[in-house]
Amino acid sequence: METVLSGIRPTGNLHLGNYFGAVKNFLKMQHNYNCYFFIADWHSLTTHPTPENLHDNVRTVLSEYLAVGLDPEICTLYVQSDVPEISELYLLLNMNAYLGELERTTTFKEKARSQPENVNAALLTYPTLMCADIIIHKANKVPVGKDQEQNLEMARKFARRFNRMYKKEVFPLPAPFNFGADLVKVPGLDGTGKMGKSEGNGIYLSDDPKVIRKKVMRAVTDAGPTEENQTPPEVIENLFTLLNIVSSPDTEQYFRDAYAKCTIRYGDMKKQLAEDIIAFTTPIREKINDIYNNSDYLSEVTRMGAEKARLSAGKTLKEVRQLIGFKSF
C-alpha cells in the first residue's frame, strides 16, 4: 500500500476551503493509503515564535482534524515535535543542501521580504525539514497546494541526491498527490477567487452561527441579471459554487433557475446559503469544542500518534545511519 503524508502548520483554524479542498479528501484517503498526518509545529517556529500560543494552536488544529473525522486508529496522526527522529534526519539532510538552491526557493524569498527582521536559518532550511518530514516515512505521495509545489520538488531533489550519494534507492521520490475529480476550489465571498486565511475571507468550521450569517450576508453581489439566461459574473457564480458545496442540489438549481428567469433575490439566496453552512458546521463545531476540552483524549491520541510515527521514523533512521557510516563500538 502506498504511503501518503501531509503536514499542516498550526497557524489558524480550518476554513471551508481547507475542509472541502483538502481535509475532506484525507477522510477517504485514510482508508485507501497508509496515511501520516501531522502538525508541523517546528515549521511554525520559523514565523510564529510565541510560547503563549504554540500549544494552543497545536491543540486547535488537532481538535479540528479529529472533529471532522480523521481516525487516529486508522491513520497516523501526530505532532512533529513529538518525533525527534525527524530532527536528526533534518540535520543529516542539511549536510547536502546548498545555500544557492535554498536561497532561490520562492517561499524563502517571500518570507525574507515579509519578515526582514527575522530571516533565520530555519527559514532558509525549511525545505530540508519538510523533506525530512516526508522521507522519514518513505512517503510516496504528498497532497500539496500550489504554494507548496516547489518545496515538494526540493524534497524530491534531496531524496534523489541522498539515494545517489549512498548508492541505494532508500527513498521513493515523493510525488504530488493528484486529487483528480475530487479537487475542489472553494471561492471567497468577497469576489476574489479563493477562500483563504491570508485572503482574510475565511468561513471557519469553528465560527458560530452569528458570525457565519454576518460573513455570508456581506458577500459581494451585483445589481442582478438584466436579461434572461445570461451567464452570471464571477461574484455570483461563486455563490452558486458555495451552494453546490454545502446545500442540496435542489437548492442550487432553484437559485440558478431564479437567476436565469431574473427573479432571483440575492438576500434570500444568501440567507439560505448561511443556514446551509451553519447546518453543516454546527455538529463539527460542537465536536471541536468537546475534543478541545478533553485533555485525556488528546493526550492519548498524541501518545499513540507519536508511538506509531517514531516506530516508522526509527526504522528509516537506522538505515540512514548505517549508509552514512555511523557504527557503534
Judged by the rule CB under 6 A, the positions of this chain that interact with ligand TRP are 5-9, 40, 43, 130, 133-134, 142, 144, 148, 151
Binding residue (CB under 6 A) for ligand ADP from 50, 198, 226, 231: 198
- What is the distance between the alpha carbons of residues 141 and 35, in angstroms, rounded to a whole number? 10
Tell me whether residue 315 is one of the annotated catalytic residues: no
- What is the distance between the alpha carbons of residues 211 and 28, in angstroms, rounded to a whole number? 30
The residue from 28, 141, 146, 197 that is catalytic is 197
Closest approach, Cβ 165 to ligand ADP, in A, equals 31
Tell me whether residue 197 is one of the annotated catalytic residues: yes
Output the CA–CA distances (angstroms, integers) from residue 77 to 118, 246, 259, 312, in the order listed: 31, 27, 45, 13
- What is the distance between the alpha carbons of residues 65 and 59, in angstroms, rounded to a whole number? 10
Closest approach, Cβ 130 to ligand ADP, in A, equals 13
Tell me if 145 contacts ligand ADP by CB under 6 A.
yes
Locus of grid cell 519578515: 115
* Encoded amino acid at 18, one letter: N
Work out what residue 195 binds among ligand TRP, ligand ADP, none; the CB cut-off runs from 5 to 8 Å by kind: ligand ADP
Rg of the chain over CA atoms, in angstroms? Answer: 22
- Longest Cα pair distance anywhere in the chain, in angstroms? 84
Tell me if 185 contacts ligand ADP by CB under 6 A.
yes
User: Exposed, middle or buried by CB within 10 Å (0-12, 13-18, 19+), for 210?
Assistant: exposed
The residue from 157, 194, 287, 315 that is catalytic is 194
Question: Which grid cell sits at 71?
Answer: 481516525
Phi, psi of 44 (to 5 degrees): -70, -20
Helices (H), 218-265: 234-246, 249-260
Closest approach, Cβ 186 to ligand ADP, in A, equals 4
Tell me whether residue 194 is one of the annotated catalytic residues: yes
Tell me if 21 contacts ligand ADP by CB under 6 A.
yes
146 vs 327, beta carbon nearer ligand TRP: 146
Work out what residue 242 binds among ligand TRP, ligand ADP, none; the CB cut-off runs from 5 to 8 Å by kind: none
Tell me if 17 contacts ligand ADP by CB under 6 A.
yes
Output the CA–CA distances (angstroms, integers) from residue 48 to 9, 80, 116, 244, in the order listed: 10, 16, 14, 36
Work out what residue 41 binds among ligand ADP, ligand TRP, none; the CB cut-off runs from 5 to 8 Å by kind: none
Tell me if 60 contacts ligand ADP by CB under 6 A.
no
Active site residues: 111, 194, 197
Query: Which residues lie near ligand ADP (CB under 6 A)?
Result: 17-18, 21-22, 144-145, 147, 184-186, 194-198
